Amino acid sequence: MAELYRSEAGRKEVLERYAAQLDNWPVKCERRLVPTRHGETFVLVCGPESAPPLVLIHGSLANCAAWRFDVPVWAQHFRIYAVDIIGEPGLSAPARPPLDAGVYADWLAEVLKGLGLERTAVLGESLGGWMALAHATRYPAAVTRLALLVPGGLSSQFRFFYRILPLLLLGDRGLRKIEERIYGRARPASSGAAREFFAFIAVITKNCRPRMEKLPIFGDEALRRLTMPVFAIFGGREVFFDPEEARRRLEKLLPAVEIDYRPDAPHVIQNRTLPILEFLKK
């Protein structure tokens, strides 16, 4: 398994930028480290203690900062637990176990047990969507609602990271092209926080190695175990997974699933905060 960071200097730069993101978190929060068999897992906790729990699992080459534009709204209604995936550029252990659904389902179960969460709503994005599915199909009784943003594990996976390797040789211009393919041409509001966030994403892309293995696809029998309410958002300009195939499988196997399909949306979905909130509050 390749090391996460390309250099020690790169590791320091990423973590320094991440510390700045956390220091400027938009709502009051606390930081926790949960021990697991794969090392410690970092969790950012915010929202009213009396509110129902919501676990957030970010995507590849990301960390809790991925939720900074959603949390101010969601934290008004939920006790949020944003998890840094192990082996990604956050504050969790750098361990990258093989991409086996059982391994990551059990890892997340350890994290939730350490947080004292017996049942919770779960939201996963991309790689985090795959991990949310791994957990929900293995421990369906532990998940009250499942929200999925462009999740992996439902359809064929494109070899995106192999296709963009030449762009990494173009310096900042190449990084901007990679960012455009993932985020689309239109960025979120051009506030200072948004500019800092995208600068942080560029630092991660430059200094970190993505997971190159294909995500295992969940079989029909596994997906039929999703007895909780399920909501999924897909973009038609997805670059990592086949969105049409994923949508068809969910509609076939889960008749009550709610799907928000956006033909012109890229991998990172904008304007997702309120639709997800509406689903979670039902």
DSSP characters over 187-237: -S---HHHHHHHHHHHHHHHHBPPP-SPPPPPPHHHHTT--S-EEEEEETT
Rounded to 5 degrees, what angle do the CA atoms 61, 151, 53 make?
A: 85
Residue among 83, 84, 104 at smallest CA distance from 153: 104
The average pLDDT across 228-239 equals 95
- Crossing angle for the helix pair 192-207 and 8-23, nearest 10 degrees? 160
CA 137, CA 148: separation in Å to the nearest integer? 13
Q: Give pLDDT, residue 194.
A: 87
Which residues, 6 or more positions from 197, have their beta carbon under 8 angstroms from its beta carbon?
Answer: 21, 65, 68, 69
**What does the mean pLDDT of the chain come to?**
92
Q: Give pLDDT, residue 1.
A: 45
Q: Give pLDDT, residue 77.
A: 98
The average pLDDT across 68-86 equals 98
Rounded to a whole number, what is the distance in angstroms from the first to the last CA of the chain? Answer: 42
More confident site: 219 or 206: 219
The average pLDDT across 203-212 equals 91
Q: How confident is the model at residue 61 (pLDDT cuts 50, 70, 90)?
A: very high
Single pTM value for the model: 0.92
- Crossing angle for the helix pair 172-183 and 192-207, nearest 10 degrees? 110
Summarised one tens digit per residue, pLDDT across range 127-186 is 999 999 999 999 999 999 999 999 999 999 876 555 655 655 556 666 666 666 667 765
The average pLDDT across 251-271 equals 94
Q: Give pLDDT, residue 175.
A: 63
| Contact (CB, 8 A) for 223 and 253 | yes
The average pLDDT across 80-107 equals 97
Helix (H) or strand (E) holding 252: helix 243-253
Q: Give pLDDT, residue 83.
A: 98
**pLDDT at residue 260 tops 50:** yes
Q: Give residue for tokens 């730069």.
A: 13
Domain 8-281 falls in which CATH fold? Rossmann fold (3.40.50)
Q: Give pLDDT, residue 129.
A: 98
